[in-house]
Structure 1
Amino acid sequence: MEARIVNSKERKLIGLSQEMSLVDNRTFELWKNFRAHSKKVLNRSSNDFISLQEYPIDYFQVFSPAKKFVKWACVEVVNFDSVPEEMNRLVLEAGLYAVFSYKGTAQNAQAFFQYIYGEWIPKSKYNLDDRPHFEVLGAKYKNNDPDSEEEVWIPIKAK
């Protein structure tokens, strides 16, 4: 599995967020709520959706599926001139990312992420950086479909 190393620009995002854990996963509920209101977001910079995770600084050091993190369902916008009342804004800082392509369902992603965090990062010339992780859900994304495709963006920094 190859990664593209990308120096990403700053991104302006609008969406909804919710605290959760892998044990108490509320992703479906979050996305259902966001999709119901996403047409209210103006000035979108693309048709892509972004699923973003903000992890506490020690999240990966002592991993537990019960540890809480903040998940976002959002879209990228050109500016924050028009933010729907029920939504929040988030500025994703510019930075270095390892970008992986994933094909399959969310239920089958565990081995994919275990490879990234357990093998690829330790063997690479990078460490995880303390910035949000995110997935770009573009035109080839199909929820719960084995042919679904998305990009997985992992924040990295040089060792």
Structure 2
Amino acid sequence: MFSHYQSILPKILVGHQLESSFSENNSFQLWSGFMPKRNLIPNRFDENYYSVQLFKDGIDYFTDLNAKYTKWAAVQVKSSLDKPEGFDLLTIPAGEYAVFIHKGTSQDFIKTSQYIYGEWLPKSKYKLASRPHFEILGSKYKLNDPNSEEEVWIPIQSK
């Protein structure tokens, strides 16, 4: 599951956002609204899609399943000027990330999350940083396919 550590430069994303919680998973609603309009976004950086979560500091989202966070469906663009009307702009700041590979369907994602936050992170020399968490849905991502793969990017900093 663990792949590597990587420092990133800022990433400019354009997409749609909504408020969500783990008890009220509205990913289908978010992506259903975004995907039909994605081709309206000019100057994409690549063909990847980004699923982004903006968590508030100090909230344990694994014990409070009703705690709200902001979820994004987005693509990376070359400039903040590339935001068409009807879309929102998000900049992921530069920083250090631990990168994991999730294999399987979205229903299997809980196992990957339990490993990252319940096993890997407590044993590592890192703690979570206050930056966006995101998944990159690239060419190996296939919706509802058990052979699907996506990259899971977790913001980290030294303990």
TM-score (norm 2): 0.96
Cα distance in 1, alignment partners of residues 29 and 61 from structure 2: 28
SS in 2 for 1:139: coil
Task: Provide the residue aligned with 1:49 in structure 2.
Answer: 49
Q: Structure 1, residues 95-123: CA drift from partner, whole Å, max 9, x if none?
A: 00000011100101112111110110110
Counterparts of 1:89-128 in structure 2 under 5 Å? 89-128=89-128
Gaps of 5+ in 1: none
Cα distance in 2, alignment partners of residues 136 and 61 from structure 1: 21
Task: Provide the residue aligned with 2:71 in structure 1.
Answer: 71
Task: Provide the residue aligned with 1:135 in structure 2.
Answer: 135
Instruction: Give 1:63's aligned amino acid.
Output: T
Counterparts of 1:9-24 in structure 2 under 5 Å? 9-24=9-24
Cα distance in 1, alignment partners of residues 25 and 61 from structure 2: 20
* Number of matched pairs: 159
Does the 8 A contact of 2:13 with 2:91 survive in 1? yes
TM-score (norm 1): 0.96
Q: Structure 1, residues 68-121: CA drift from partner, whole Å, max 9, x if none?
A: 110000000000223121101011100000000111001011121111101101
The structure-2 alpha-carbon separation of the partners of 1:62 and 1:81, relative to structure 1 and needing over 3 Å to count, comes to closer
The structure-2 alpha-carbon separation of the partners of 1:114 and 1:34, relative to structure 1 and needing over 3 Å to count, comes to same
Task: Provide the residue aligned with 2:149 in structure 1.
Answer: 149
User: Post-superposition, which runs of at least 4 consecutive aligned residues in structure 1 deviate over 3 A?
Assistant: none
Instruction: Give 1:122's aligned amino acid.
Output: P
Task: Provide the residue aligned with 1:8 in structure 2.
Answer: 8
CA RMSD of aligned residues (A): 1.2
Cα distance in 1, alignment partners of residues 60 and 129 from structure 2: 11
Q: Structure 1, residues 28-65: CA drift from partner, whole Å, max 9, x if none?
A: 01001000110000010000000000001123377311
